[in-house]
Each structure stands twice: as C-alpha cells, then as structure tokens.
Amino acid sequence: MPAYVIVNTRVSDPTRIQKYRDLAEQSIKQFGGHYLVRGGFLSVLEGSYQPERMVLVEFPTLDRAKAWYASEAYAEAKQAREGIAEFEMVLVEGLS
C-alpha cells in the first residue's frame, strides 16, 4: 500500500530554503518517493485550519516513508531548514 507524507510549511527565508528543497527531493527519490503536490493554489473549503504551503509526497509503502524520514539523507535536509522554516508533517497509509 502507498503511504503519504503531508506537510504544511511556513518559510521565513525563501532564498535559503532552496538548499532544503534540493536535499529533500534527492532523499525522497532515494526511497522511491515522489511529489504529488508542491505548493501551488490552496483553498480551505471547510473548518478553521489555515495552512500556508502544502506538500504531498507519495511513497510506495509505509516502511519506505518511515525509512526516508529516519535516514541520514533526510537528516541533512532537516538541518538545512533549521531556523528558516516551520513544518507540520504527518504520515498516513493509503489504500491498496
């Protein structure tokens, strides 16, 4: 079953965040993941949730997504975003 990482981001330094984006993309590919949503138009249809920038990443399995998040490759990306971005991130298993 696929798994999805859903992220809401708030970026305070749009120039410096590019390093994170490059490193994150490389690490995601290493674990068989790919972006389905990466920013773009966003509209809240119901409720009070006010996300700023949404990202949706699909992985082939829950285990691959967990391995990606725990990897050294992604740790390097997380370090690159310190002090310049806030993330809210969830992992959810998809349907078969």
**Residue 22 CA neighbour count, 13 Å, CB half:** 6
User: Is 55 in a helix, a strand, or coil?
Assistant: strand
Return the CATH number at 31: 3.30.70.100
pTM (2 decimals)?
Answer: 0.93
Structural domain span for residue 31: 1-42+72-96
Q: What's the Cα-to-Cα distance from 50 to each of 42, 57, 63, rounded to whole Å?
A: 10, 20, 30
The answer as to whether 33 is a domain residue is yes
Q: Please give the pLDDT value at position 96.
A: 86
State pLDDT tens for residues 41-94. 999 999 999 999 999 999 999 999 999 999 999 999 999 999 999 999 999 999
The answer as to whether 60 is a domain residue is no
The total number of structural domains that make up the chain: 1
The answer as to whether 49 is a domain residue is no
